[in-house]
Structure 1
Amino acid sequence: MQLTVQDAFALAARHEAAGRSMEARRIYDEILAALPEHPGALLKIAVQELSSGEYERARERLERALASAQRQTLPTHEIWLALARTHLAAGEGAAAAKAIGEAHAWAKRLKASGAASAACVVLQDCVKLAPADPDLRVTLGAVLLDANRAADAQRELERAAALGAQGGEIWDNLGLAHRLQGDDEQAIRAFERAVAVNPSLAPALANLVNARYVLCEWDGLDADEQRLLATLDDPASDPRWPPWIALSMPTSPAQQLAVGRRWANAMLPEPAPRRPVPPRSGKLRVGYLSGNFRDHPTGRQMAGLFEHHDRTRFEITAYSYGPDSRAPVGERVRVAFDRWRDVREVADAEVARMIREDGIDLLVDRHGYTLGGRLGILASRPAPVQVHYMSFPGTLGFEAIDELVADAEVIPPGEERFFHERVRRLPRCYYVNDGRRGLPAPTPRAAHGLADDALVLACLNQSHKLRRPLFAVWLSALRARSDAVLWLLAGSARMQRNLRIEAERAGVAPGRLVFAPPLGQDAHIARLACADLALDTLPYGSHTTGCDALWVGVPMLTGRGGTFAGRVGASLLNAAGLPDLIADSPEEYGARLQELVAKPARLAEYRDHLERTRERNPLFDTAGFTRDWEALLLEIYDDAAARSINSTL
Structure 2
Amino acid sequence: MTDCRALLEQATAHHESGRLTVAEHLYRAALALDGNLAETHHRLGALLLELGQSDEGLDHLRRAVERSSSTAGYWEGWALGLLIARSAQQALMVIDQALALGIDTPSAHSLRAQILGAISDQEFLASAEIGDTVLGSVTGSQVSADNLGSESKKALPAHQSAKPRARSRADRKRGGRASSNPVVKVSAANRNDFVSLLLQGRLEPAESFAQRLIERYPSDSFGWQAAASVEMQRLNYKAALPLMHKAVELSPEHSECLTSLGNILRELGQQSEAIAYFRLAIKSDPDCEGAYNGLGMVFQDLRRIDEAISCYLRALQIDPNQPKAHSNLGSAYRSKGLLDLAVASCNRALSIDPQLMIANNVKAASLQDLGRFDEALACYDLGLINASDKNAAVVYSNRLFLLSYHPDKSPQEIYEAHLEFDRVIGAPLRGHWRPHTNVRDPERRLRVGYVSPDFRKHVVSYYLEALMASHDKRQVEVTAYADLAREDEVTARFRTYADHWVPTNGVSDLDLAERIRADGIDILVDLSGHTALNRLRTFACRPAPVAVSWLGYANTTGLRAIDYVAVDAFQSVDASDALYIEQLWRVPNPAGVYRPSEGMGGVGSLPAEVHGFVTFGTLTRGIRMNDRVIRVWSTILQRLEGARLVIDSSSFVAEKACLELAERFAVHGICPERLSIGCHTPPWDILRSLDITLDPFPHNSSTTLFESLYLGVPVITLLGHLIFSSRMGGGILAGVGHPEWIATTEEEYIEKAVALASDLEALARIRANLRAEFEASPWRDEPGFARKMEQAYRGMWRRWCEHGQGPADLR
Coarse TM-score class (shorter-chain normalised)? 0.7 to 0.9
Query: In 2, are the aligned partners of 1:135 and 1:165 still within 8 Å (CA)?
Result: no
For residues 434-472 of structure 1, the C-alpha deviation after alignment (integer angstroms, 9 at most, x for no partner) is: 3897862246789xx995433121101223322232123
Q: Please report the TM-score for the alignment, with normalisation by the length of structure 2.
A: 0.62
CA distance in 2, matches of 1:140, 1:402: 39
Cα distance, 1:264–1:645 mapped onto 2, change above 3 Å: closer
Partner residue, 1:575: 735
Q: What is the letter of the counterpart of residue 255 of structure 1?
A: E
Partner residue, 2:110: none
Cα distance, 1:617–1:46 mapped onto 2, change above 3 Å: closer
Question: Given the alignment of the two structures, is residue 255 of structure 1 paired with residue 325 of structure 2, yes or no?
Answer: no
Query: In 2, are the aligned partners of 1:114 and 1:347 still within 8 Å (CA)?
Result: no
| More moved, 551-560 vs 277-286 | 277-286
Question: Given the alignment of the two structures, is residue 543 of structure 1 paired with residue 671 of structure 2, yes or no?
Answer: no
CA distance in 1, matches of 2:298, 2:657: 28
Residue number among 512, 528, 531 corresponding to 2:690 in the alignment: 531
Cα distance, 1:307–1:10 mapped onto 2, change above 3 Å: closer
Q: What is the letter of the counterpart of residue 572 of structure 2?
A: I
Partner residue, 1:367: 528
CA distance in 2, matches of 1:179, 1:233: 22
CA distance in 1, matches of 2:459, 2:678: 18
| More moved, 433-442 vs 179-188 | 433-442
State the shift of 1:260 in Å: 3.6
State the shift of 1:541 in Å: 1.4
| More moved, 480-489 vs 315-324 | 315-324
For residues 360-398 of structure 1, the C-alpha deviation after alignment (integer angstroms, 9 at most, x for no partner) is: 221212223222333344454443222221011122223
Query: In 1, are the aligned partners of 2:360 and 2:383 still within 8 Å (CA)?
Result: no
Query: In 2, are the aligned partners of 1:407 and 1:427 still within 8 Å (CA)?
Result: yes
Cα distance, 1:479–1:10 mapped onto 2, change above 3 Å: same
Query: In 2, are the aligned partners of 1:134 and 1:160 still within 8 Å (CA)?
Result: no
Partner residue, 2:234: 109
Residue number among 552, 556, 562 corresponding to 1:401 in the alignment: 562
The 5 Å alignment of 1:115-264 reads: 124-125=257-258, 155=311, 159=315, 174-180=329-335, 182-193=337-348, 207-215=362-370, 221=372, 223-224=374-375, 227=378, 240-241=395-396, 242=398, 243-250=400-407, 251-263=409-421
State the shift of 1:588 in Å: 2.7
Structure 1, gaps ≥5 residues long: 1-7, 18-23, 89-95
Q: What is the letter of the counterpart of residue 408 of structure 1?
A: A
SS for the counterpart of 1:56 is: coil
CA distance in 2, matches of 1:177, 1:82: 42
Residue number among 498, 505, 526 corresponding to 2:660 in the alignment: 498
State the shift of 1:556 in Å: 0.8
For residues 165-186 of structure 1, the C-alpha deviation after alignment (integer angstroms, 9 at most, x for no partner) is: 698x876555334324544232
Question: Given the alignment of the two structures, is residue 624 of structure 1 paired with residue 781 of structure 2, yes or no?
Answer: no
Cα distance, 1:176–1:480 mapped onto 2, change above 3 Å: same
SS for the counterpart of 2:713 is: coil
The 5 Å alignment of 1:180-579 reads: 180=335, 182-193=337-348, 207-215=362-370, 221=372, 223-224=374-375, 227=378, 240-241=395-396, 242=398, 243-250=400-407, 251-263=409-421, 270-271=429-430, 272-276=432-436, 278-327=440-489, 329-344=490-505, 346=507, 348=509, 351-434=512-595, 440-442=601-603, 452-490=611-649, 491-492=652-653, 493-515=655-677, 517-520=679-682, 524-525=683-684, 528-561=687-720, 563-579=723-739
SS for the counterpart of 1:628 is: helix
State the shift of 1:534 in Å: 0.8
Query: In 2, are the aligned partners of 1:137 and 1:156 still within 8 Å (CA)?
Result: no
Partner residue, 1:3: none
CA distance in 2, matches of 1:396, 1:114: 29
Q: What is the letter of the counterpart of residue 680 of structure 2?
A: P
Query: In 2, are the aligned partners of 1:485 and 1:513 still within 8 Å (CA)?
Result: yes
CA distance in 1, matches of 2:185, 2:644: 78
Cα distance, 1:42–1:187 mapped onto 2, change above 3 Å: farther
Query: In 2, are the aligned partners of 1:320 and 1:343 still within 8 Å (CA)?
Result: yes
Aligned Cα root-mean-square deviation (Å): 5.2
Structure 2, gaps ≥5 residues long: 1-77, 88-114, 142-176, 195-202, 248-255, 261-280
State the shift of 1:14 in Å: 1.5
Cα distance, 1:14–1:533 mapped onto 2, change above 3 Å: same
CA distance in 2, matches of 1:394, 1:517: 28
Identity %: 23
| More moved, 304-313 vs 135-144 | 135-144
SS for the counterpart of 2:735 is: helix
State the shift of 1:254 in Å: 3.4
State the shift of 1:77 in Å: 6.7
Partner residue, 1:91: none
Q: What is the letter of the counterpart of residue 179 of structure 1?
A: R
Cα distance, 1:187–1:29 mapped onto 2, change above 3 Å: closer
CA distance in 2, matches of 1:43, 1:263: 50
CA distance in 1, matches of 2:184, 2:630: 72
Query: In 1, are the aligned partners of 2:698 and 2:720 still within 8 Å (CA)?
Result: yes
State the shift of 1:248 in Å: 2.2
CA distance in 2, matches of 1:424, 1:606: 34
When the two structures are aligned, how many residues end up with a matched partner? 608
SS for the counterpart of 1:364 is: strand
CA distance in 2, matches of 1:101, 1:513: 57
CA distance in 1, matches of 2:486, 2:579: 36
The 5 Å alignment of 1:581-620 reads: 581-604=741-764, 606-607=766-767, 610-620=770-780
| More moved, 501-510 vs 279-288 | 501-510
Q: What is the letter of the counterpart of residue 640 of structure 2?
A: R
Residue number among 184, 192, 205 corresponding to 1:56 in the alignment: 184
For residues 343-367 of structure 1, the C-alpha deviation after alignment (integer angstroms, 9 at most, x for no partner) is: 4465555544554444322121222
Question: Relative contact order (alpha carbons < 8 A, sep ≥ 6): 1 or 2 greater?
Answer: 1
